[in-house]
């Protein structure tokens, strides 16, 4: 993962579940991201009801030279009910060897690529057989179909259970100033212990932090954000990204925007180095408590 960009571009809202870009718009967006140094793209097989990988793949089929300029993450393990998967009777999780291998091979086909840079199990499966998952990972890696593996939304104990069988390179979890569980539940400590970089989905907390006249917590955070924005000549979202980037685990935020202007703004957050006291000022505003 050393070649992954610090900021990761999420694709969930670029397809059917969002702006539904056509192939030309996809290509322009991808190329603009690459110019900005955002070279890693985050997928999941279920995005767009199993259509977004194929949308992205149309660009790579038309412009195969782009493949060597970017890295692809995708996820599997959720059986979503939709017309594209008529055999899925109920929404469920599936981490069986057969499903993982089939999903990875299908993603390769949809994306028009020879190998996936990083494959994640999308959600914890309470029926997971860790040895069976490890067998699937070994088989895919030995075949050159997947370069590295990780998980998403796993607890520290669930991560350890699988990591003991096969080395994982990340845990993609929800992290933002409004969702701070990973700071206290051992997730980020575990990443530091194993020298792996966590990935943060919804790093802006779904945008609730920018609501004017929000709840007391949002108001407290905005009262701290505003002077910091003025000090660093930055927007509040840039400060919040810098807040995540300040953590020693090396958090990699997954951007959820559909606008290249927002990506361009996010890149500027890489230049902001918050002071330790400023980081804790935001923490205390979020918790509503002075640290002990």
CB 36 within 8 A of CB 4: no
**Look-up: residue for tokens 């097989």?**
45
Place of tokens 């793209």: 41
Q: Determine the average pLDDT of the residues in 26-49.
A: 98
Over range 144-152, report the average pLDDT. 98
Stretch 20-24: mean pLDDT:
98
Catalytic residue list: 47
What integer is the mean pLDDT of 116-121?
A: 98
CA distances from 237 to 60, 151, 217 (A): 31, 26, 16
pLDDT higher than 80, residue 201? yes
What pLDDT does 259 receive?
98
Of the candidates 79, 105, 108, 82, which has an alpha carbon nearest to the alpha carbon of residue 94?
79
Mean pLDDT of the chain: 97
Q: Which fold has domain 8-169?
A: TIM Barrel (3.20.20)
- Cβ-in-10-Å burial (0-12, 13-18, 19+) of 45 comes to buried
In what helix (H) or strand (E) does residue 138 lie, and over which residues does it extend?
A: helix 130-142
In this prediction, residues 59-79 reach a mean pLDDT of: 98
What is the pLDDT at residue 289?
A: 94
Query: How sure is the predictor about 208, in pLDDT bands with cuts at 50, 70 and 90?
Result: confident
For the residues 65-82, what does the mean pLDDT come to?
A: 97
With a cut of 90, say whether residue 203 has pLDDT above it.
Answer: yes
Which of 35-39, 54-58, 141-145, 207-211 is least confident?
207-211
pLDDT of residue 252: 98
Tokens of 10: 């999420």
pLDDT of residue 85: 95
What percentage of the chain carries pLDDT values higher than 70? Answer: 100
Whole-model pTM over 0.85: yes
User: Does 218 score more than 80 pLDDT?
Assistant: yes
User: How far apart, in Å, do the first and last CA atoms of the chain sit?
Assistant: 36
Q: 199 pairs with which residues across the strands? A: 172, 252
Residue 213 reports pLDDT greater than 80: no
Average pLDDT over residues 48-77: 98
Rounded to whole angstroms, what are the CA distances from 136 to 48, 75, 145, 176, 215?
25, 14, 11, 32, 46
Alpha helices in the chain (DSSP H): 23-35, 47-50, 52-62, 97-111, 130-142, 156-163, 181-184, 187-194, 216-232, 236-245, 260-268, 276-287
Nearest by Cα to 77 from 142, 130, 122, 28: 122
pLDDT tens-digit profile of 258-277?
Answer: 999 999 999 999 999 999 99
pLDDT tens figures, 157-194: 999 999 999 999 999 999 999 999 999 999 999 999 99
């Amino acid at each position: 993962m050393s070649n992954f960009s610090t900021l990761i571009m999420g694709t969930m809202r670029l397809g059917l579940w969002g702006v539904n870009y056509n192939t030309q718009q996809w290509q322009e967006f991808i190329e603009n991201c690459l110019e900005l140094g955002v070279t890693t793209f985050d997928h999941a097989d279920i995005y767009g009801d199993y259509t977004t990988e194929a949308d992205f793949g149309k660009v790579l089929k038309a412009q195969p030279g782009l493949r060597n300029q970017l890295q692809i993450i995708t996820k599997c393990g959720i059986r979503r009910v939709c017309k594209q998967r008529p055999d899925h009777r109920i929404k469920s999780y599936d981490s069986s060897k057969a499903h993982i291998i089939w999903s990875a091979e299908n993603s390769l086909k949809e994306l028009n690529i020879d190998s996936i840079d990083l494959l994640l199990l999308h959600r914890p499966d309470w029926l997971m057989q860790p040895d069976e998952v490890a067998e699937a990972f070994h088989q895919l890696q030995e075949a050159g179909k997947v370069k590295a593996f990780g998980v998403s939304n796993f607890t520290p104990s669930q991560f350890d259970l699988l990591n003991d069988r096969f080395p994982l390179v990340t845990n993609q979890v929800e992290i933002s100033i409004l969702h701070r569980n990973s700071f206290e539940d051992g997730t980020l400590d575990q990443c530091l212990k194993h020298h792996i970089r966590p990935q943060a989905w919804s790093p802006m907390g779904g945008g609730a932090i920018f609501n004017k006249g929000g709840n007391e917590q949002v108001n407290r955070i905005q009262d701290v954000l505003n002077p910091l924005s003025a000090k660093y000549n930055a927007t509040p979202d840039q400060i919040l990204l810098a807040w995540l980037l300040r953590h020693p685990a090396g958090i990699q935020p997954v951007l959820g925007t559909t606008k290249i202007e927002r990506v361009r703004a996010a890149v500027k957050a890489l230049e902001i180095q918050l002071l330790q006291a400023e980081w804790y000022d935001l923490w205390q505003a979020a918790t509503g408590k002075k640290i002990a």
